[in-house]
């Protein structure tokens, strides 16, 4: 066992590089590879329309999926927390729009340095925001039936 552990430890960088290269080649072979920071993953077309939709997308901030809790900044600078519903784009553009359920802030606590806040999920507002407005996915937990607690991203 020790011999195997020592071998893996000594070859960790090589193993990670080979695994990443293999996954990259597979994504090219299956057609999932995208050269660019934004785009839908496995999109489907909407009938009689040039629009496409998907439950997953690659945004400038990384990979985001359906039901992820994200933080986004509105045009007026207000930061909001929302649950991702779906991603949209048009056939001739890689611009991604995100349909979200935006929640209402209940409280904020920054006692320990990071911002921990409570959000009411009972009556969300549906919004369509541009993918560039999404700041990132959040760590969250459900506290009560209609309340979630999130650790917000630093400003």
Q: Based on the domain organization, do 5 and 77 belong to the same domain?
A: no
We report the CATH number of the domain holding residue 72 as 2.30.30.490
Contact 70, 138 (CB under 8 A): yes
Q: Based on the domain organization, do 91 and 25 belong to the same domain?
A: no
Domain span at 95: 34-151
Q: Based on the domain organization, do 141 and 70 belong to the same domain?
A: yes
Q: Based on the domain organization, do 56 and 126 belong to the same domain?
A: yes
Contact 135, 72 (CB under 8 A): yes
pLDDT tens digits, 53-108: 999 998 888 889 999 999 998 888 888 999 999 999 887 677 899 999 999 999 98
* Residues in a beta bridge with 125: 102
- Start-to-end Cα distance in the chain: 46
Q: Based on the domain organization, do 28 and 44 belong to the same domain?
A: no
- Residue percentage of the chain with pLDDT more than 70: 95
Q: What pLDDT is attached to residue 32?
A: 67
Q: Based on the domain organization, do 120 and 47 belong to the same domain?
A: yes
Q: Based on the domain organization, do 43 and 17 belong to the same domain?
A: no
User: Which of 50, 42, 49 is closest to 87 using CA atoms?
Assistant: 42
Q: What pLDDT is attached to residue 100?
A: 96
Q: What pLDDT is attached to residue 40?
A: 85
Top mean-pLDDT range of 14-23, 85-94, 119-128, 146-155: 119-128
Q: What pLDDT is attached to residue 36?
A: 64
Q: What is the DSSP letter of 67?
A: T
Phi and psi torsions of 6, nearest 5° = -65, -40
Q: Based on the domain organization, do 15 and 78 belong to the same domain?
A: no
pLDDT tens digits, 11-23: 777 878 888 889 8
Q: Count up the domains in the chain and report the number.
A: 2
Q: What is the mean pLDDT of residues 12-37?
A: 79
Q: Based on the domain organization, do 29 and 40 belong to the same domain?
A: no
User: Mean pLDDT across the chain, nearest whole number?
Assistant: 87
């Amino acid at each position: 066992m020790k011999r195997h552990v020592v071998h893996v430890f000594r070859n960790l960088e090589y193993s990670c590089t080979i695994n990443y290269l293999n996954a990259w080649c597979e994504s090219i072979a299956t057609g999932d590879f995208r050269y660019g920071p934004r785009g839908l993953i496995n999109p489907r077309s909407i009938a009689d329309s040039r629009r496409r939709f998907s439950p997953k997308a690659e945004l400038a901030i990384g990979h985001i999926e359906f039901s992820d809790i994200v933080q986004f900044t509105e045009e007026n600078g207000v930061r909001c927390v929302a649950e991702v519903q779906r991603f949209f784009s048009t056939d001739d553009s890689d611009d991604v729009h995100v349909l979200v359920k935006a929640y209402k802030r209940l409280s904020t606590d920054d006692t320990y340095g990071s911002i921990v806040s409570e959000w009411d999920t009972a009556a969300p507002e549906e919004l369509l925001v541009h993918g560039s407005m999404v700041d990132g996915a959040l760590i969250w937990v459900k506290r009560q039936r209609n309340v979630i607690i999130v650790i917000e991203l630093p400003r």
